[in-house]
Structure 1
Amino acid sequence: MFRSYLRLVLFALGLLLGVQVPGFIDDYAKRVDAHRIEARQALQGFRDTARRFFDGDLDALVAHYRASPDPVMRSDADSVATLVARDALLEREWQAMQGPWYWRAWHLASAADPALLAETRAAYRYQVLLAPEAIAWALACGLFLALVVESVVSLIGLVLGGGRRRPARQAWR
């Protein structure tokens, strides 16, 4: 009986964990988009200058700033280069978050920007979404967690018990 309740608790825990996945993915995507818009706005003046003098090439603008004899311009070159790199990073992250749910999940698990991921994790508030993808994640995580834990416990029981099963008790006659 205890084992059955343990299975139910593990399944419920898996459900609660799994239902968080789509919400976290959505929060990360929104954070990336907000930062991307902010980076675009910060670069707008430099984009206008690059468009007027360098056919829109921001790298040429940075190279021009770096080649300047003025130390202020050289210092600004590093600032603009940082903004350009940040804009490119955010654009790549945004593109990665535009695919299907499994691409977004894989990107978050394997290649997400660590700083944005930490920022999202710090600001994330647990939520229960009742969207179809949240329900699917919840069921999959619940089943997986219950299966893994029960398999590990059964394996430990086999190892410690030497593979022997206790004889079944005979029913009362």
Structure 2
Amino acid sequence: MFRSYLRLALFALGLLVGVQVPGFIDDYSKRVDAHRIEAEQGLKGFRQTAQRFFKGDLVALVGHYQASADPVMRSDAQSLGTLVERSAFLEREAKAMQGAWYAQVFHLATAADHELMEETLDAYRYQVLLAPEAIVWGIACAMLLAWLLESLALLVGVLLGVGRSQKVQRRHWR
């Protein structure tokens, strides 16, 4: 009876963990979009200048600032270059989060920005979504967790000889 309740508890735990996945993916995507919009706002004036003098090429504008004899312009070139790089990075990150759900999960697991991931984790509030993808994630995680832990318990039991009858143990020790 205890094993049955333990299985149910593990299943419930897996279910609750699984339903968090779509919510976390959504929060990370929204955070990336917010940072991307902020970066674009910071570059708005520079984009207008680049459009007017360099056919919209921000890299050419940065190069022009770097080549300037004015030390203030050269200093601003480094700041502008950082903004341009950050904007391009956030644009790539936003595109990665627009793909299929499995591509989003793979991206978060392997290539997500650690700073944005930490921000998302710090601000994340656990939620139970009743969206179809949350339900699927919940059931899949619950089944996987229950299966893994039960398999581990059975393996440990076999290794320790738990559940064997005395007759079977005597037969193997002859």
> Taking structure 2 as the reference length, what is the TM-score of the superposition?
0.93
2:136 aligned with 1:136, yes or no? yes
Q: What is the distance in 2 between the residues matched to 1:115 and 1:149?
A: 32
Q: CA deviation at 1:91?
A: 0.2
> 1:53-79, CA deviations, whole angstroms, 9 ceiling, x for partnerless residues?
111111111011111111110110010
Corresponding residue number in structure 2 for 1:24: 24
Corresponding residue number in structure 2 for 1:33: 33
Q: What is the distance in 2 between the residues matched to 1:148 and 1:167?
A: 28
Q: CA deviation at 1:167?
A: 6.3
Q: Counterpart of 2:23 in 1: which secondary structure? A: helix
Corresponding residue number in structure 2 for 1:150: 150
Runs of 4+ in 1 over 6 A off after TM superposition: none
Over the aligned positions, Cα root-mean-square deviation in angstroms equals: 1.4
Q: CA deviation at 1:154?
A: 0.7
Structure 1: segments with no counterpart, 5+ residues: 169-173
Q: What is the distance in 2 between the residues matched to 1:26 and 1:18?
A: 14
Corresponding residue number in structure 1 for 2:171: none
Corresponding residue number in structure 2 for 1:171: none
> 1:85-111, CA deviations, whole angstroms, 9 ceiling, x for partnerless residues?
110110001000111111111111111
Q: CA deviation at 1:166?
A: 2.6
Q: CA deviation at 1:160?
A: 1.4
Aligned length: 167
Corresponding residue number in structure 2 for 1:160: 160
Q: What is the distance in 2 between the residues matched to 1:159 and 1:106?
A: 35
Q: Counterpart of 1:46 in 2: which secondary structure? A: helix
Q: What is the distance in 2 between the residues matched to 1:135 and 1:39?
A: 35
> 1:33-70, CA deviations, whole angstroms, 9 ceiling, x for partnerless residues?
11111111100100111111111111111011111111
Structure 2: segments with no counterpart, 5+ residues: 168-174
Between the aligned residues of both structures, percent identity stands at 68
Q: What is the distance in 1 between the residues matched to 2:165 and 2:147?
A: 23
Q: What is the distance in 2 between the residues matched to 1:123 and 1:76?
A: 33
Corresponding residue number in structure 1 for 2:116: 116
